[in-house]
Structure 1
Amino acid sequence: MLSLQSSSFLKYRCYQLTLSTLRPAEKTAEKMIKVDHAGENGAVNIYRAQRFVARFRSKSIVKQLEQNMEHELNHRKIFENYLAENGIRRCKSYFVCGAGGYVLGFVTGLFGPTAVAATTYAVENVVLEHLEEQRAYLYKDDLAAHECVIQIIEDEKAHHDSAKNQLQEDQLIVNILIKIVRLCTECVIRFGMR
């Protein structure tokens, strides 16, 4: 019978062996999906933190945040499956995206529904531009990766459009927040593609 200690050791050893058999992304298409996977981890954690805060601050948006988070969990799984099927390591920025997403979600959640909508709008705006560029490239280079991107575009567009409808974009603070979040999102994508 295995003790708890030896069971933990075996899990750790299996994890090490799995890591050693995974390879870095080599093709541009693989790098794109690896970065998308990390980005979805960031999105999951943005919504997770916003949902946590909204339970105390803005109960009216909790259901929408839960729906969006479910979509992002599904998107992350789509990219995770692609990486696993191709034996590719996840992006080095995976955990940074998750932690950064949680911090961003927590802070914007504290500011309420308008800041939550501005964050979603800004992130999804950049993500949709990024996915459209990928779609054209991947169609020629990697049809499996292309299919992954196609599967998530409609959800991302729905998040974007819903958030845009909730905004009063003439507010100075909203415009500043959108610019900051867009810049941060673009930087994360560029860093991940290196």
Structure 2
Amino acid sequence: MIKVDHAGENGAVNIYRAQRVGAAFHALFGRENLRSHLAHFQEHEEEHRAIFAQYLKEAGVRRCVSYHLCGLGGWTLGLITGLMGSRDIHATTYAVESVVLEHLRHQLDHLGTADAKARKCVAAIYEDELSHHDSGQAGMGDSRLEKLLVAIVKACTSGVIAFGMR
């Protein structure tokens, strides 16, 4: 589970990294500038990735084979949605975090007291992910395109998690 979480956090870091590129493009034209907001969220994801990396190192476990694939997929998703605009950035955050929160809740229930260190790692990131979710939800619109984007991103995020957990 932690291997998949670590890979997912690498994807999240790259989503925000690439969205900052798109946000910079929009800022050139005087549109809403989300770069500092995205940088803040990226810092959270980098901290989360480090928490999971430390756990894997201490456990003597290699990172997930999907680590770089998650990073590439995150970068691609982030760049596309970053160029689409602020509402789509927020919709993407909302969609990803909706799936991630469900995954984390399942992990917390599953881990129980079986692996206290792993449970502590998962619990440590939960509140940040919840705040990202709520921020994304507050900033997104209600257009058909955004609803479609949310559905696609949720499906892809669920697929990546399922692939990693197999």
TM normalised by structure 1 equals: 0.82
Tell me if structure 1 keeps the 8 A contact 2:26–2:33.
no
Partner of 1:7: none
Give the gaps of 5 or more residues in structure 1.
Answer: 1-31
1:133 to 95, 106, 114: 106
CA distance in 2, matches of 1:109, 1:56: 9
> What pairs with 1:103-122 in structure 2 (closer than 5 Å)?
103-122=76-95
Runs of 4+ in 1 over 6 A off after TM superposition: none
Distance 1:33 1:161 in 2: 24
Secondary structure of the residue aligned to 1:140 is coil
* 1:75-94 correspondence to structure 2 within 5 Å: 75-94=48-67
Check if 1:185 corresponds to 2:164: no
Q: Is the 8 A contact 2:25 2:83 kept in 1?
A: no
Amino acid at match of 2:157: T
Identical aligned residues as a percent = 54
Query: 1:144 aligned to 94, 114, 117, which one?
Result: 117
**What is the aligned length?**
162
1:55 CA displacement: 1.2
Taking only aligned residues, the RMSD between alpha carbons, in angstroms, comes to: 0.8
Q: Which runs of 5+ in 2 are unaligned?
A: none
- Distance in 1, matches of 2:90 and 2:106, equals 24
Name which structure has the greater RCO, CA cutoff 8 Å, separation 6+: 2
Instruction: Tell me the TM-score normalized by structure 2.
Output: 0.95
Q: Decide which moves more: 53-62 or 184-193.
A: 53-62
Q: Residue 41 in 1 paired to residue 10 in 2? A: yes
